[in-house]
Amino acid sequence: MNFLKNKVLFRCDAGYESELGSGHLFRCLTIAKYLQVFNGIKSNEILFIIKTGKKFENSIKILKNFSFKVCKIERDIKNYSRQEIDILKNFKADLIIIDRLGKVKKKFIINALKNFRRKVIIDDSSINRKLFDVSLNPLITNVSKFKNSNIGKNYFISPVFFYKEKYFKNFNRGIFLYLGVTNNNLQIKKILFKISRTTNLPIYLPIIYLKKLKNVKIENKVIFYKIDEFYKYMYNSKFVIISGGMSFFDAMYFNKNIICLPQYRHQENNINNYKNLSNVKIISTKKGNFEKKFAKVMNYFTKKDTGYKKATKKIYKKKMKFTLNKISHLI
């Protein structure tokens, strides 16, 4: 059989499906760049296998900014299914990295991954994670522990690892809002209304929210940022309003005051580990009095401020490098 050979293969997605977003793809792109810089792997030796079509267009948009090879598969192919096994068993690589929420099946590992010398899995919750060379769980932490498991925020990986200081230019400090790409439109409108009733600070919103906010009148100045400006606007914010996904750790990296609105159960479980921190306020969107609680926290953070601490960044960067090296040393 003629295998399609690569040095490194990534299996991840980005899109508008529930609990997906774009964080998994950006994390994999950070790993890919690290392997290029520190292992000397060329971009044409790295392959991304991604779903395309409706709800998955985001993957292609993001990958267009990079020169890695891309293999597109149908959007209706289920994770760990027979169809996915049939696709992956045609490939061969020194390393495969699978980054997604779910529970990997032993049958999948045996049949789909036999042609990969080393294997890494990120944020899976199955006991079968132990069959991988490295298992990382920075986000999904309520999982079984074993020798090669790495659980908790110390194993967080973010694109900010490669950002230079000059990227973070200071400008007017506003309120950064990002609840992922699969959010509740009504919830966003309620939040914007409460912000406008509390402060006249500018509001930073992702450009993907532009259509969602049609006909919504806000007195505050609204700045829509592009996906490649995400960290610039987060850095320059007075405080952030985010869900409990990977963007939460990005905000921690910048030592921000955080209003956290978990959108899914796994986010609630994860964020509860940080509820005692003075710069983190968690508000459940499923319980009563949401608007009243949100307004109270808004008032509190509008008066409170935190600055960007290089010491905080240094600690996180050191931990990120340690985690990236765990993967790098497999090649």
- Phi/psi for 210 (5° steps) reads -55, -45
Q: pLDDT tens, 109-138?
A: 999 999 999 999 999 999 999 999 999 999
Give me the pLDDT at residue 46, please: 95
Give me the pLDDT at residue 72, please: 92
Contact 10, 47 (CB under 8 A): yes
Give me the pLDDT at residue 247, please: 86
Q: pLDDT tens, 215-257?
A: 777 777 888 988 888 888 998 888 899 988 888 888 888 888 8
Ranges in the chain, pLDDT < 70: 1-4, 16-20, 165-167, 171-172, 181-185, 285, 287-288, 305-312
3-class DSSP assignment, residue 257:
strand
Instruction: Tell me the residue ranges of DSSP E strands in 1-52.
Output: 4-11, 46-52
Distance (Å, whole) CA 277 – CA 255? 11
Task: Give me the residue label for tokens 């993907």.
Answer: 208
Give me the pLDDT at residue 17, please: 63
pTM of the complete model beyond 0.75:
yes
Do the domains 169-307 and 4-158+316-328 match in fold?
A: yes
Give me the pLDDT at residue 277, please: 82
The full 3-state SS of 78-138, as one line of letters, equals CCCCHHHHHHHCCEEEEEEEEECCCCCCHHHHHHHCCCEEEEEEECCCCHHHHHCCEEEEC
Give me the pLDDT at residue 307, please: 53
| Domain 4-158+316-328 class, CATH top level | alpha beta
Distance (Å, whole) CA 28 – CA 10? 7
**Domain edges within the chain:** 4-158+316-328, 169-307
Distance (Å, whole) CA 186 – CA 179? 12
Contact 144, 127 (CB under 8 A): yes
Task: Give me the residue label for tokens 């096994």.
Answer: 85
- Phi/psi for 327 (5° steps) reads -80, -45
| Domain 169-307 class, CATH top level | alpha beta
- Structure letter (DSSP) for residue 53: S
